Amino acid sequence: METGVKVKLKVDLTKYRDGLVVGSEGYTIGQYGMWSRSSDLFTGVDFPGIGKLDININSLEVIDKDYLKRMEVLRQQTLEEYKSAQNVVLTVGPLGGFKDLSFEYKTKDGYNSHIGIGFENEAYDIMEYFKILDIPVKTLTKERKK
């Protein structure tokens, strides 16, 4: 997540730092501590008057209106590009568990691009979009390594 984005805490983290209650507001500061430097699931957040701490992004709600507007414009541009998707493959494990979704598409500049999505919720949202557009999704079962 970029720096300077206003966020609000969705969970109580007072066991890590006094004052970090649900609703506490702060600003992202990017890579800060060990967790945010080693995982994109965390970002550093500066909570004024409380301190700086690495926070799991799932524990944060973005409340920065300008940032949310920019992300919505970007999302719409991306969905427009995804209308050209082809060779869409959902890879699942031997028991049917999600592995990834991959496909090719043309960018707005006319370049061929390939993407792999490893986040299950995001992948299934995109597959719903492909269903609306009648873009076929092939399922590939990855066999267990022996």
Predicted confidence (pLDDT) per residue in 3-13, tens digit = 899 999 999 99
Predicted confidence (pLDDT) per residue in 99-113, tens digit = 999 999 999 999 999
> Rounded to whole angstroms, what are the CA distances from 31 to 3, 35, 68, 75, 142?
9, 8, 21, 24, 35
The reported pTM is 0.71
Give percent of the chain above pLDDT 90: 85
Predicted confidence (pLDDT) per residue in 43-84, tens digit = 999 999 999 999 999 999 999 999 999 999 999 999 999 999
| Ordered DSSP codes for 62-82 | E--HHHHHHHHHHHHHHHHHH
Fold designation for 76-141: 3.30.720
Q: Which two tokens stand for residue 132?
A: 């609306």
As to burial, measured by CB atoms within 10 angstroms (0-12 exposed, 13-18 middle, 19+ buried), residue 20 is buried
